[in-house]
Amino acid sequence: MRFPKGIHIIQTIFGVIFFFIGVSSVHADSIDTPLLLDQSSSDAYDFRNDPFLLEWTLRMENTEDSDTKTIHSIENELLDRWKEKQADLWDNLPTEPFKVNVSAYTAAADECGKDDGVTASGLKVTEKRTIACPPNFPFGTKIRINGVGEYRCEDRGGAIKGNRIDIYVETKKEAFTFGRQHLLAEVVH
């Protein structure tokens, strides 16, 4: 019986794997300390008490925390630079509630011309945080939209002028469901 060429390749791969397993088995047999295979004994290996595993896990958790802190510090640094560039706009923000024409958008290429999710401010879009504002609102402005939530101005858009605001959402379905709404908003400092 003839086998397809792919079977011979798979047989060769398994042969190499078994060869190395065999070599490592011989090496393992030469170790002076016996392996504990009886899990019922009190000396059995318990991964929950392995100091090396615990140290590695804690190191990984600390790395995740520092990554989050790094992202936040980069965002704050970027927004601080925008605050300096757009200092004159901060003085002219509305102090009273104002009406806005609110719609929703996604980071899809057909809406933004690109699909990397990077806003005009340089920040990555984030649901329940990012809005596209008219140019008279500086990047970093926090706006509370009644019945919707509090958002931060991080993006611009060709049609975003006057009293129009676009809220970033993940999916087109969410954007279409949101539709266009006329709501009250206020700047939150």
Residue 8 is assigned to a structural domain of this protein: no
**Could you tell me if residue 74 is inside a domain?**
no
Residue 74: predicted pLDDT: 81
pLDDT band of residue 108 (cuts 50, 70, 90) is confident
Q: Which of 54, 32, 31, 34 is closest to 44 using CA atoms?
A: 34
Contact 186, 143 (CB under 8 A): yes
Q: Compare 2 and 74 and report the one with higher pLDDT.
A: 74
Cβ pair 171, 106 in contact under 8 A = yes
Token pair for residue 107? 């980071």
- Residue 119 CB neighbour total at 10 angstroms: 22
10 lies in a domain?
no
Q: What percent of the chain stands above pLDDT 90? A: 43
**Which CATH number fits the domain that encloses residue 158?**
2.40.40.10
Which range marks the domain in which residue 138 is found? Answer: 96-188
Instruction: Report the pLDDT value the prediction gives residue 79, as an integer from 0 to 100.
Output: 87
- Residue 86 in any domain: the answer is no
Compute the Cα dihedral for 91, 97, 98, 99 and give only its sign: positive
**Model pTM greater than 0.85?**
no
Say if residues 125 and 155 touch (Cβ distance below 8 Å).
Answer: yes
Residue 22 located in a structural domain? no
User: What own/partner pairs with CB < 8 Å and gap ≥ 24 does 142-150 have?
Assistant: 142/187, 142/188, 142/189, 143/185, 143/186, 143/187, 143/188, 144/185, 144/186, 144/188, 145/100, 145/102, 145/183, 145/184, 145/185, 146/183, 146/184, 146/185, 147/183, 148/102, 148/183, 150/188
**Greatest distance between any 2 Cα atoms in the chain:** 85
Q: Looking at the 3D structure of the chain, how many domains does it have?
A: 1
> What is the chain's mean pLDDT, rounded?
78
Model pLDDT, residue 176: 95
Answer whether residue 165 is part of any domain: yes
Cα–Cα distance measured from residue 63 to residue 55, given in angstroms and rounded to the nearest whole number: 12
104 in any annotated domain: yes
Residue of higher predicted confidence among 32 and 70: 70
Residue 75 belongs to some domain of the structure: no
Q: pLDDT (tens digit, 9 = 90+) per residue, 164-181? A: 999 999 999 999 999 999
Compute the radius of gyration of the chain from its Cα atoms.
Answer: 29
Q: How far apart are CA 165 and CA 131, in angstroms?
A: 7
